[in-house]
């Protein structure tokens, strides 16, 4: 290491003095001194060392004595809520939380089940198909039967169509021993 001039030494001492007396930089300087000489850091910065030891002690206590399981419960709730975000919007999750408050539960799963029961979505089977532009609807017809004949006796023609489909299915898929 190169030798410093007296001016450089005085300048560094002035900077160290300013760093040591500034509340924002004092812990940083204490940490740097502790890396070089821990005994000197303990003697020169007892307040910073004591505050650091107190924070470490609090952290150990928090980790050791989580009496109510608050961290675990909070993590569980966050996991349940993140699962709901896959299926529900933010507005719906807020409504689920209202249901949870109303019934007095802390389970997003239970709240979601009750919310879904109270607010059933539209059944896609009951929705009409989306129409394409220029699309026309036609009445279904049976092969070889005109609509007027079908409308005159729908039961007879439906039974005939079903029998013909079943016979065709048997002939194509079943072994000969099962055909009649």
Q: What is the pLDDT of residues 35-62, one digit of tens each?
A: 999 898 888 888 988 888 899 998 888 7
Q: State phi, psi for 145 to the nearest 5 degrees.
A: -120, 125
Q: Is residue 7 part of a domain?
A: no
Q: Is residue 35 part of a domain?
A: yes
What is this structure's pTM? 0.36
Q: What is the pLDDT of residue 179?
A: 60
Q: How far apart are CA 58 and CA 74, in angstroms?
A: 20
Q: What is the pLDDT of residue 126?
A: 67
Q: What is the pLDDT of residue 24?
A: 92
User: 59 and 26 in one domain?
Assistant: yes
Residue 114 sits in which domain range? 70-118
Q: What is the pLDDT of residue 141?
A: 64
Residues with Cβ < 8 Å from 80, sequence gap 6 or more? Answer: 107, 108, 109
Query: Residue 160 class from Cβ within 10 Å (0-12 exposed, 13-18 middle, 19+ buried)?
Result: middle
In the listed set 42, 64, 86, which residue is the last one of a domain according to the structure? 64
Q: How far apart are CA 141 and CA 147, in angstroms?
A: 6
User: 46 and 27 in one domain?
Assistant: yes
3-state class of 142 per DSSP? Answer: coil
For residue 3, the 8-state DSSP code is: P
* Rg (the chain; Cα; Å): 40
Q: Is residue 6 part of a domain?
A: no
pLDDT beneath 50: ranges in the chain: none
Please work out, in degrees rounded to the nearest 5, the angle formed at the alpha carbon of residue 81 by the alpha carbons of 76 and 83.
100
Q: What is the pLDDT of residue 54?
A: 92
Residue with tokens 């007095």: 104
Structure-token pair, residue 1: 């290491």
Q: How far apart are CA 55 and CA 139, in angstroms?
A: 79
- How many domains, the chain? 3
CA-based max dimension of the chain: 117
């Amino acid at each position: 290491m190169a030798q410093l001039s007296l001016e450089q030494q005085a300048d560094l001492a002035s900077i160290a003095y300013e760093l040591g007396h500034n509340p924002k930089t004092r812990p940083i300087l204490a940490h740097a001194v502790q890396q070089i000489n821990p005994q000197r850091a303990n003697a020169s910065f007892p307040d910073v060392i004591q505050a650091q030891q107190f924070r470490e002690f609090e952290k150990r206590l928090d980790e050791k004595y989580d009496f109510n399981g608050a961290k675990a419960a909070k993590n569980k709730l966050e996991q349940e809520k993140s699962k709901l975000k896959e299926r529900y919007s933010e507005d719906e999750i807020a409504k689920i939380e209202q249901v949870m408050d109303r019934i007095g539960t802390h389970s997003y799963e239970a709240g979601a089940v009750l919310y879904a029961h109270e607010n059933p979505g539209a059944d896609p089977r009951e929705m009409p198909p989306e129409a394409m532009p220029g699309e026309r609807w036609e009445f279904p017809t049976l092969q070889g039967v005109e609509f007027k004949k079908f409308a005159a006796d729908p039961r007879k023609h439906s039974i005939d169509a079903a029998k013909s489909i079943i016979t065709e299915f048997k002939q194509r898929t079943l072994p000969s021993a099962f055909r009649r």
